[in-house]
Structure 1
Amino acid sequence: MNVLIVRTSSMGDLIHTWPAITELKTHYPNIRLSWLAEDSFADIARLHPQVDEVLTLSWRRWRKGLWKPEVWRELGALRRKLRESSFDLVLDSQGLIKSALPSRWACAPLAGLDWKSARESLASLFYDKKHAVSRKLSAIERNRRLFGLSFGYAPEGEPRFGVRQGARPAWMLSGRYAVLLHATSRASKEWPEAHWVALGEELSSRHDMVTVLPWGNEREKARAERLAGLLPAAVVAPKMNLIEAAGLLGHASAVIGVDTGLAHLANALNVPLVAIYTDTDPQQTGVVETPWATNLGHIGQCPTVGAVLAALKTRRDWT
């Protein structure tokens, strides 16, 4: 059976699809899985070993230049590729117009969420088979339920991401290190810089850890450099792709991060993780709590440095 999964963005949404894919392949190991994702997040799809092929679109770029002939040529090429792939089933697990439309281009039976379950109800009008999944569930459980309903099984047990850590970055010297994920999509979700400095000082002085500060844009790079200048043993990470970021996170002795996709990636790799929430509900957007990972904070709450350290010390593999 040749199946296309459509989950185009963003990073956390793609990571939250991994457990559903792991479970699907446990039930049907002979299914050939393709995944359609936004090109900037395609490496997340590629990280799952059960995905046979990753197809990409560039909607974020295309929508800014719909009057350009080259954009329409790229759209046409994707449409032909989807049609010629002869999928037996397409599953749109995102439930948005921007995911439902290319899903229909595959000219195959199309499954997705029903009117009340989809994030954009109009997307359900594109689907041949519609499934009801409660919007009160976490993103991971919504995906697992949708996959189970689409393929005829009931999800069981704890979610398993099914991915492996990559290679330790060549630029990272030997020894123990903690990754501080200070960057997030909006200012209201940030943790105070003074807290990051106090945390880094504690990790360095009491636990002999180098702190590593990743970044994704120039504003985040400036903050990483500013924080590194205040810490006793800190490294500003070079610009990384998502495969390289997975290698950095997978070999870390600890990861502390705000509400960001990389925290979910660390969650999938089973490293000691504390995820910090100040403006979102961790019941909806938090990491999956495991012996390695926990959530702290809530809307309008800002966890203290002491609370973060205390939570970190209770995580499995913390030394």
Structure 2
Amino acid sequence: MKILIIRFSSIGDIVLTTPVIRCVKMQVPDAEVHFLTKKNFASVVRSNPYIDKLHLLDESLDNTIAALAEEGFDWVIDLHHNLRTLRIKKVLKCPSKSFNKLNIQKWLLTNFKLNFLPQKHIVDRYLETVSHLGVRNDGAGLDYFIPANEEIKPSDLPASHQLGYIGLVVGAAHATKRLPLHKLKELVQLIDHPLVILGGPEDRSTGEVLAELDPIRVYNACGKFSLNESADLVRKAKLIITHDTGLMHIAAAFRKPVISVWGNTVPAFGMTPYINQPGAPAVLINGISLPVTGNSNGGTDQVEVIGLRCRPCSKIGHDACPKGHFKCMEQIDLQDLHKKTRQLLAAR
């Protein structure tokens, strides 16, 4: 059975689809799994052994659709569900199942603070789209596979960090999902442990400011590594402190202890770190046993400001606080965050 799974973006959302990819491949007899995403995010899934063929969204949607039409798919699993995927499904003319984004429920929560969202993680809702194929959650959590040529070497880190470090993810797609710089500086000064600052090129200046606080203890990795290399820095960390962003889900894929910091978005959206169930078995592909991609030392905690009437103000985020006060981040209790950090480190 030839199955096309679609998720165009973004990093975190694609990582959250990996249980669907794996479970379809392992549980549907003779499944040939194809995956369609944007070119910008190809590295997120290019090394995934459960994907038989990767398709990349061309600048011309017509060209992409023409290439897909030649495949002769038996099913389309649409985990993005927008106008472009509607057009793809219409042309392919094969059975399809689409993910329910629950946009009305999210609108009610962000605009009227009425929560009608199911108390269910988005991973489990993604998996509902393939239940008709007899697919069930195998409990093995998220996947993230790093090619060997993009693994970090010990020499890529300063000697002060080669015996272990905490990863601090400072980036996020929207400003209202990020701690302000002065809060990050205070947090860095609280944590008496080697830190690697993680983020993209756009976070380089923030990382530089934080590294200047203690150039020996704090290493700025923002913009210095590829996505997969940054993912390997996450994999090698003792613990990850992160905003609601893609590296948070990559950390969950590696079963790392994660402390997530929430601003304008809320855990109720169902996108908290998704850790595998204890004792999840190895899985088999082409007769080869593949363990889950992380280790068993995971544990999660979260920090947020409870009781703000303006929160959540968006299901995604804003460039600035709509109210101007940014209380959802300004009132984050950094002492509590520091306490949780020490507790998770001790639990390791």
Aligned residue identity for 2:265: T
Secondary structure at the counterpart of residue 240 of structure 2: strand
User: What is the correspondence of 1:1-319 to structure 2 with a 5 Å cutoff?
Assistant: 1-28=1-28, 30-58=30-58, 62=59, 74-113=60-99, 117-118=100-101, 136=118, 137-149=120-132, 151-153=133-135, 155-156=136-137, 158=139, 160-164=141-145, 168-170=151-153, 171-173=156-158, 174-203=162-191, 205=192, 207=193, 209=194, 211-218=195-202, 220-232=203-215, 233-237=217-221, 238-284=223-269, 285-288=271-274, 291-298=298-305, 299=311, 300=328, 302-315=331-344, 319=348
Question: By how many angstroms is 1:256 displaced?
Answer: 0.6
Cα distance in 2, alignment partners of residues 282 and 44 from structure 1: 23
* Conservation of the 8 A alpha-carbon contact between 1:6 and 1:103: no
Q: Which has the higher contact order (CA 8 A, sep 6+)?
A: 2
* Conservation of the 8 A alpha-carbon contact between 2:6 and 2:78: yes
Secondary structure at the counterpart of residue 313 of structure 1: helix
Q: Normalising to structure 1: TM-score of the pair?
A: 0.78
Cα distance in 2, alignment partners of residues 157 and 183 from structure 1: 32
Q: Which is worse superposed, 249-258 or 161-170?
A: 161-170
Unaligned 5+ segments in structure 2 are 105-115, 277-297, 306-310, 312-327
Aligned residue identity for 1:274: I
Secondary structure at the counterpart of residue 344 of structure 2: coil
Secondary structure at the counterpart of residue 303 of structure 1: coil
* Conservation of the 8 A alpha-carbon contact between 2:127 and 2:137: no
2:286 equivalent in structure 1 = none
Cα distance in 1, alignment partners of residues 339 and 5 from structure 2: 40
In the superposition, relative to structure 1, how do residues 135 and 38 fare at CA in structure 2: closer, same or farther (>3 Å)? Answer: farther
Q: Which is worse superposed, 229-238 or 252-261?
A: 229-238
Cα deviations across residues 16-51 of structure 1 (Å, max 9, x unaligned)? 111222332342263111100011112222243311
1:130 equivalent in structure 2 = none
2:308 equivalent in structure 1 = none
Cα distance in 1, alignment partners of residues 18 and 178 from structure 2: 26
* Conservation of the 8 A alpha-carbon contact between 1:181 and 1:255: yes
1:124 equivalent in structure 2 = none
* Conservation of the 8 A alpha-carbon contact between 1:178 and 1:254: yes
Cα distance in 1, alignment partners of residues 147 and 256 from structure 2: 13
Cα distance in 2, alignment partners of residues 172 and 29 from structure 1: 45
Question: By how many angstroms is 1:165 displaced?
Answer: 5.7
Question: By how many angstroms is 1:5 displaced?
Answer: 0.2
Unaligned 5+ segments in structure 1 are 63-73, 122-133
In the superposition, relative to structure 1, how do residues 244 and 266 fare at CA in structure 2: closer, same or farther (>3 Å)? Answer: same
Cα distance in 2, alignment partners of residues 281 and 234 from structure 1: 29
Aligned residue identity for 1:271: K
Cα distance in 1, alignment partners of residues 213 and 199 from structure 2: 17
In the superposition, relative to structure 1, how do residues 252 and 29 fare at CA in structure 2: closer, same or farther (>3 Å)? Answer: farther
Secondary structure at the counterpart of residue 43 of structure 1: helix
Between the aligned residues of both structures, percent identity stands at 23
